[in-house]
Amino acid sequence: MDVETEIGKLASEAMATQIVLAGLLNAINKSGPDGRAIVADAFRHADLMTEVSIATLGKYGGLVEYERQLAKVVEKLRSAVLSDAPQPDP
């Protein structure tokens, strides 16, 4: 097994999942007030789970880059869902 190829496959799978999730949340968000409330609640939950994950990692020495990326991905998804324009990678 080529490690770089496997990493590329996993990254592609993660990106595809994010794209589908952003599209789904965007459609729900545009469906009306109830949809916007559901999406807002989903992101509050994501923020909480991110904080819990980072706190848990911190107990065990943490993975600083992982922590940064976790929060960054949630924020990129939030931005993509709440905007009509596709968001470029930073």
86 backbone φψ class: left, alpha, beta (φ>0; ψ -120 to 50):
beta
pTM over the 0.75 mark: no
Q: What is the pLDDT of residues 16-56, one digit of tens each?
A: 998 899 999 999 999 999 999 999 999 999 999 988 888 88
Q: Nearest-CA neighbor of 69 among 9, 2, 16, 18?
A: 18
Percentage of the chain with pLDDT > 90? 38
- For residue 57, what pLDDT band results from cuts at 50, 70 and 90? confident
Predicted local confidence at residue 51, as pLDDT: 86
- For residue 88, what pLDDT band results from cuts at 50, 70 and 90? very low
Structure tokens at 40: 């807002």
